[in-house]
Structure 1
């Protein structure tokens, strides 16, 4: 299964880490260019890294030497070939123009400044983006961070995720902040795209919060075959939704037995570990109709097909081609946990 490109924070919370351990091949939070990997040992111990050596792989967005002068700032980043800070700033400029001015005001009172969504690590965004924010009064320098409005933080980090995801198809944007998710997947400046919104919670059961990390890793390794069958089936489902051929409905229908069997085997393997606590995991899947002016397709057939395997569906906007597109983006809504 594709890796998780986590944002907006450097440290992935436990619920994201556990989700990635069970259903992803890689967890890659966006970090500053000079990131100290020893810091991550607080939530990803060295023993875990020895068991899954290529699982936790932080991604630096842009390095300091990417900004030596204005001309070179138009070049792709050595850290992420294909990402141009010049292109990204142009995109941000057009998006910011659509945001109400009151939502862009930098917070000054102490309560607002203490919020985790009211600042950006200066080294994480780099000097060029820092200057862009300061010149437009969208940020205020405060020691090693930039004070910003929550919408600005989410917009900047969601844009980073879109650009990284566009050149790293092995990583999919994944966040537990709804507004950041919407900024990463909503079409911008007049273009419209279409997609489907899937609630995959019943396909991705998780352990209770009291289960230690080493036990979850051991479960992943011991039941690698069952895990692989389930994630492969989900990947096939996501790919089928993007088909442009008339065979799309039949392709999804053929997957139903495979999905049901894979989920039953996985739940059987996890009996006693996988809890009955439901976390809402939503996936926006950009469809073949994600072009300007396209009519939203009729998805009633898909709703009926997926109901039998516990996948709920609703239509939703998805990224258009005016900016780097992403095929799939995830939203992990922790506050929607309920006991079934």
Structure 2
């Protein structure tokens, strides 16, 4: 999981990540330690966290710089004002980005400098933090998440233990990740599946430390369920003409893996809740017109008594190497208890 846009993963997402995903990553400044909250330190100490330092990925910086030039006009149109504090202004750590990227933001009027150090010879911001409009921060970090995931997964594959799947709980960030490049030719249709039923998590009164310990005791059950979820996503992408056939083939494995994990939890007196999680799957260009399916939404199937509903919505950008074809949006409300 590659969580964005923040360094610290919110508790509701971190609890799911600590239970299910092979590891969780975030994009961090060079001085990582001082930005972590106690929950992130606990996940790191358990060996479940892998930081990504963006400044070390020069080619990602260059691609982001190119994309920012293309969307800066849109961002200026969204921006009504930039108060010194409040929800419209977000803090961005300069240490994450190259001087070229920061210079581009300053040049285009998308930054208010604050608590920064400047190279006296060049006038370039070299450290500290700045305030940017919320839309600018989300745009930058959404581009970064997509690019990093595409690079890693293009090399390793989306099911490798060190793969990175973009994951956020911020609706606008998710939308930007999927649609910021609509003007490009590499767009493809996208399915969004309500997959929350596949990721039950312990109730909020279960400490994070106990979730990590449960994961360690039931590693086989965890791996089996995650493999079934990855298989479902990949097979739906490959066989989009016959999604119900794909589901029928994988349904038993999904149900058995889910039942085994939840039974293990109940045996330890863990009560489960299920929160809304949307899985976006980019489809091939051949999907358009290949089969008539309801645009507003349709039922893929039922797992454990819960429906997996699908909608054909928007556009999901496919990476040049097919490496960023999946992403997740975590919603705050509970489905059931």
Give the counterpart of 2:222 among 227, 240, 249: 227
Give the counterpart of 1:164 among 129, 148, 151: 148
RMSD over aligned CA atoms reads 2.8
Contact map agreement 2:189 2:285 (CA 8 A) in 1: yes
1:9 aligns with 2:9: no
Contact map agreement 1:118 1:149 (CA 8 A) in 2: yes
1:266 aligns with 2:241: no
- Counterpart secondary structure, 1:43: helix
The 2-side partners of 1:18 and 1:106 are apart by: 36
| More strand, by proportion | 2
Normalising by structure 2, report the TM-score. Answer: 0.82
Identify unmatched segments of 5+ residues in structure 1: 64-75, 78-82
What is the 5 A alignment of 1:1-340? 4-32=1-29, 34-37=30-33, 39-40=35-36, 42-45=38-41, 49=44, 52-53=46-47, 55-63=48-56, 77=58, 83-99=59-75, 101-105=76-80, 107-108=82-83, 110=84, 113-115=85-87, 118-143=90-115, 144-169=128-153, 170-186=163-179, 188-191=181-184, 192-244=187-239, 249-271=244-266, 272-276=269-273, 278-289=274-285, 294-295=288-289, 297-299=291-293, 303-308=298-303, 310=306, 311-321=308-318, 326-334=324-332, 336-337=333-334, 339-340=336-337
Residue in 1 that maps onto 2:159:
none
Identify unmatched segments of 5+ residues in structure 2: 116-127, 154-162
The 2-side partners of 1:122 and 1:324 are apart by: 29
- Counterpart secondary structure, 2:25: strand
Contact map agreement 1:176 1:331 (CA 8 A) in 2: yes
The CA deviation at 1:289 is: 2.7
Contact map agreement 1:7 1:157 (CA 8 A) in 2: yes
The CA deviation at 1:306 is: 2.0
Distance 1:321 1:280, change over 3 A: closer
The CA deviation at 1:125 is: 2.4
Contact map agreement 1:186 1:318 (CA 8 A) in 2: yes
The CA deviation at 1:316 is: 1.7
Contact map agreement 1:205 1:274 (CA 8 A) in 2: no
Contact map agreement 2:182 2:315 (CA 8 A) in 1: no
- Counterpart secondary structure, 1:270: helix
The 2-side partners of 1:222 and 1:114 are apart by: 44
- Counterpart secondary structure, 1:107: coil
The 2-side partners of 1:150 and 1:49 are apart by: 28
The superposition leaves residues 171-220 of structure 1 with CA deviations (integer Å, 9 ceiling, x where unpaired) of 01111111011101125243442111011111111112221122111111
Contact map agreement 1:5 1:173 (CA 8 A) in 2: yes
